[in-house]
Amino acid sequence: MINTDVAMGLVRVTEAAALRGAKLMGRGDKNAADQEAVNGMEKAFNLMPIRGTVVIGEGEMDEAPMLYIGQEVGLGEENMPEMDIAVDPIDGTVLIAKGLPNSIAVVAMGPRKSLLHAPDMYMKKIAVGAGAKGAIDINKSPKENIINVAKALNKDIHEVTVIVQERERHNYIVEQAREVGARVKMFGEGDVAAILACGFENTGIDLMIGTGGAPEGVIAAAAIKCMGGEMQAKLEPHNDEEKQRCIAMGIEDVEKVLTIDDLVRSDDVYFAATALTECDLLKGVVFSKNETATTHSIVMRSKTSTIRFVEAVHHLYKSNLVQK
């Protein structure tokens, strides 16, 4: 049984990552910023009353010394719940290194075996908020999906905004969106933040289409599930080695359309995010005098459909999660 303290503990995890990573905003060193975020996130996780196992993390055990796949986190006492953990200490490391918007720290958590163990490869994705649930089909063209989302939302096609990562592989999406008269918003990095924005009407973003990292897709699916939206995905292995990795992780049919219930196999999952830099939904970390900082976060639970926005002021000299 998860209590509110555990749910709010997830916010402390993403806050710790964001506070440490954001100190290096604009310094031009994405690896250093990522390592700082990892350090903060791991420290915070080890204070949580769970028996957690990282299923999506910084890499395999021999690739990442911390928050590696298979690492156990949490206090780990016998009476505590067993949980799958998916982390991205900084989604958008290039963004924080350059001081650009949409860099966030994110965590998804669910009961053991609830999160798809997605291999580190490309994944095709399409996502919408609750208002357009049932209107998307990843096997249909971007044009068809945009038209169907407009109908579901009772919007004129010219009022629909599709968010697309600025990559050459997505040129066809942009072209088709423009053909039907939809608005297009481009972003550079960080598709978790982009998908998260689809779930809230006040962001003005209705639909996300594109191909990005599979691990990030699972984390984003947890957020969409908490918001009552819909997401579909398809893995895109580029060679036999990647196909074998899918099979080794329990995904035998690599051509299968993955529904949100395939990506997140529980109706009681959690998602938390803290912005390092400004994004569509959250304000970034603001450092003030006297070693204080303000963070803006979101934490959600699918079982209750609860969505909390958390603004916190941190006294950094008192926090053992932020100090080295």
Pairing of strands 292-301, 306-315: antiparallel
Q: What's the pLDDT at 4?
A: 56
Report the phi/psi class of residue 75: left, alpha or beta, with left for phi > 0 and alpha for psi in -120 to 50. alpha
Single-letter amino acid code for the residue at 6 = V
Neighbours of 180 (CB within 10 A): 16
Residues 176 and 172: their CA atoms lie apart, in Å, by 6
Nearest to 284 by CA among 295, 293, 273: 295
- pLDDT value at position 2? 46
Q: Are 294 and 314 in contact (CB under 8 A)?
A: yes
What are the tens digits of pLDDT across the range 116-168? 988 788 999 999 999 999 999 999 999 999 999 999 999 999 999 999 999 99
Q: Are 197 and 280 in contact (CB under 8 A)?
A: yes
Nearest-angstrom CA–CA distance, 16 and 14: 5
Mean pLDDT (the chain, rounded): 91
Give CA angle at 259 (253, 264), nearest 5°: 100
Phi, psi of 44 (to 5 degrees): -65, -40
Q: Residue written as tokens 């209750």?
A: 304
Arithmetic mean of pLDDT, 273-284: 95
Q: Sort residue 285 into left (φ over 0), alpha (ψ -120 to 50) or beta.
A: beta
pLDDT of 324 above 60: no
- 185: helix, strand or coil: strand
User: Tens of pLDDT along 35-55?
Assistant: 999 999 999 999 999 999 999
Average pLDDT for residues 69-85, to the nearest whole number? 93
Q: Which tokens go with 298?
A: 């979101």
Residue showing tokens 């010394």: 65
Nearest to 55 by CA among 123, 117, 121: 117
Helices (H), the chain: 4-22, 30-45, 93-98, 142-153, 171-180, 191-197, 214-226, 240-248, 260-263
pTM: 0.92
φ, ψ for residue 267 (rounded to 5)?
A: -95, 10
pLDDT band (50, 70, 90) for residue 1: very low
